[in-house]
Amino acid sequence: MRKLLGTVLIVLGCWASVPAQVTKHTTDLVPTGKGWGVQRRVAPVGQAPSKAASASVNGIIYHGGPVMRANKVNVYFIWYGNWTNGPKASDRQITVNLLDILFGPTRGIGSSGFFKINSTYNDTVGHPTGNIALAASATNHYSAGKQLTDANVEGIVSSAIASHSLPSDSNGLYFVLTSSDVNETSGFCTKYCGWHSRATIGGSDIKYAFVGNTDRCSSACEMQTVSPNRDSGADGMASIMAHEAQESVSDPDLNAWYDATGNENGDKCAWKFGPTSGVMGAGAYNQTFGTYNWLIQMNWENSRGGGCDKTLGGRFYTQ
């Protein structure tokens, strides 16, 4: 099944140190958080870039920005739209429960060997631990309608923080998760399946991501409609959310780790799963967290020359 080109599946050995610094190339592209790079804006005359880019030794380059180094990254879900009885079967509580489990503190992706791949990315201070877990959730019943812009997504996060539905947490990642009747007009289902970004909200550097119910466009945003947990929306969203989470950890402000084409670690392994158990298209999976099986795209490991990996220190795969 052909997927969106450049889709965002919206982030060793005492950790890879930052390589020696070299001159930054103005021809490099910078990430958008949506799976493709754009031309770097040229600094005004007489104003040098704040940081020099590092040499690439593992297929990805450090550009001087921070990573999310805290012991654990806190995840916040904003369930936008109708997640009780929406138009698709996956707009239901079972989807909510499955994604809660995926990011749960004991049976989920957090602290798994897969997510610890992100600990191979560091900044000038230290590196992430590779731990992530759901901290809190909030609901929003169409406050900005069913046709969202990028600005609307940021506004939904800002409103949740301002209303104290969710705390203000600069060590957090806020997911805006939309039911299948909601569109993101900058390119959901046509250019991307999810994306991540950041904004200054209430004086804090807030990291957030958009991921829609993939059942809105299963041919574009789901690898298989018969999925491991028999919920194609939850299973499709799971891989995209993992993609956005790993990129948010390694490149939270879009100025840390990416390659010369503007691809972040998740982009470099988009729609690549490695060996799977079962038949693809009929519930195949490549990861087991707790008692649940998932089909989760691989992540780019920043060590040993770099490559797409299913678990920290594992075998690199091309597909």
Q: What is the pLDDT of residues 246-272, one digit of tens each?
A: 999 999 999 999 999 999 999 999 999
DSSP state string for the chain = ----TT-------S-PPPPPB-PPPTT-EEE-SSS-EEEPPPPPTT---SSPPBPPSSS-EE-S-----SSSEEEEEEEES-SSS-SSTTSSHHHHHHHHHHT-TTTSSTTSTTGGGGGG---SS----S-EEEEEEEEE-STT-SEE-HHHHHHHHHHHHHTTSS---TTEEEEEEE-TT-EETTTBTTTBSEEEEEEEETTEEEEEEEEE-GGGGHHHH-S-SS-TTS-HHHHHHHHHHHHHHHHHHHSTTSSSEE-TTS--TTGGGTT---S-BS-TTTT-BSEEETTEEE----EEESSTT-EEESSTT--EE--
Q: Give the mean model confidence (pLDDT) for residues 23-30.
A: 54
pTM of the model: 0.89
- The residue ranges of every structural domain in the chain are 29-38+51-267
**CATH entry, 29-38+51-267, from 3.40.390, 3.40.1350, 1.10.260, 3.30.70:** 3.40.390
pLDDT of residue 92: 97
Does residue 3 register a pLDDT over 70?
no
**217-234 residue pLDDT tens:** 999 999 999 999 999 999
Q: How do residues 51-107 score in pLDDT, each as one tens digit? A: 446 777 899 999 999 999 999 999 999 999 999 999 999 999 999 999 999 999 888
